[in-house]
Chain A
């Protein structure tokens, strides 16, 4: 099965912005507005950060935002904070198979 492609790692200093890309195909990311993003700290359950490309669940800081262009979705963290250091992965609905992203480690310098 084909996973969605994410950069292995991104980093930034506190206060900076970082963007994580998530590239799929027209059969998943490009075909549906059903991309979601998850944050996972070590040994904890994943946490929903963005859903339906741009929507933010209650309780998620507004420095997290999502977007999509063509077959690539993006998660932007503005005003990076120490607690944002974690693994992030994307997910997209697909009619025959719904893939996850390869995962990105965000490091706060």
Chain B
């Protein structure tokens, strides 16, 4: 059974950088698929942030590209997100997920439960 678990700080100060990690179990990131970060601000829809594959190829939302870095650590079966210069608008629940794209298919088949991140001084 594939499982994803987010970890990171729950509270970040404005202008700081938040770093989140997604630990994958039940599947080796090196085996394939893409891996993504998605967030949901309070009362708003889900928003795709960034995608990475096991080779380190990255894709970013054009709306967050300038502040985001996604990376992968295959040795620990983890991938991570860095979001810089945060503001209150970055307050959200952050999910990681496995993303299937290719071979005529596109979907997120496994999700983490999500980690709430609050930006506040």
- Residues of chain A whose beta carbon lies under 8 Å from any beta carbon of chain B: 1, 3, 32, 34, 36, 38, 43-48, 51-52, 55, 57, 89, 91, 93, 96-103
Contact = CB atoms under 8 A, between A and B. Distances in A.
Given A46-B95, A93-B101, A51 B107 contact: yes
A47 B2 CA distance: 13
B contact face: mostly helix, strand, loop, or mixed = strand
Interface of B: 4, 38, 45-48, 61-63, 95, 97, 100-101, 104-114
Contacts of A89: 45-46
A100 B95 contact: no
Contacts of A45: 4, 95, 110-114
24 contacts: A1-B47, A34-B105, A34-B106, A36-B106, A36-B108, A38-B108, A43-B113, A45-B112, A46-B95, A46-B108, A46-B111, A48-B107, A51-B100, A51-B106, A52-B105, A52-B106, A57-B109, A96-B62, A97-B61, A97-B62, A97-B63, A100-B45, A100-B46, A100-B47
B53 to A, nearest CB: 16
Listed from nearest, the 9 A-B pairs whose CB atoms lie closest are A51-B107, A34-B106, A100-B46, A45-B111, A36-B107, A3-B45, A45-B113, A93-B106, A102-B45
Contacts, number: 63
Nearest to A101: B45
Given A43-B113, A45-B113, A98-B48, A51 B61 contact: no
Contacts of B112: 45
Contacts of A43: 113
Nearest to B38: A100
